[in-house]
Structure 1
């Protein structure tokens, strides 16, 4: 049976992400979803822009739904590329820039994390801090 993301571990992971966001001085939103893309845990760090809420959640959804980091798709969705327009093909927005990572149980994706609020490098560093807790 595939593992799920228990709420106590999700909260521990969110706290690790908040610590990383504070270390990097980023006002970000952090989201964790399960394998079906449903919200498991979320926090909006003090003074994060409200627009970051949906972007963080959509990055987490994208990583879980497509079983790859959200930024993996950037080149392939550009005009003339093989998956041009893919980010608009689903019933909910897919995010194709960095900050979303899948969560694994072995080789099986059981969820995703998403971070929005800073430059891509900061979003990815915070997402890794969250995913490292969930993937151990």
Structure 2
């Protein structure tokens, strides 16, 4: 398995759109639409994991958390973490998160945020829970931070 970042026009961009559009998570269609529009800052990255030539997971490293209450104005975020059901339990989300953290450090960030409804998942990757909040949309109701 390999984690990598992709940008519009690169080989796996269209494959990732197709994968995210057909994945079992409703937020996948949101990512597919954003990728079609290429609605990302220049430094933001769509990060994927592949098995051979098949996309099996994705996340986005970007400026803001999606659907965050305005009082949580932190940056940058790892958003939209998804791993195909057949590949879960193989630490693919960790692979993508580590890739995102390395990239964040490389471009000068000192900390990174992530939101989630999952308890205990991101703490095992070194994140600390810093807040509970009422989500604007979706189930993610906890905010985590990691220093890098």
Q: TM-score, normalised by structure 1?
A: 0.30
In terms of fraction of residues, the more strand-rich structure is 2
- Give the number of the structure with larger relative contact order, counting CA–CA contacts within 8 Å between residues 6 or more apart: 1
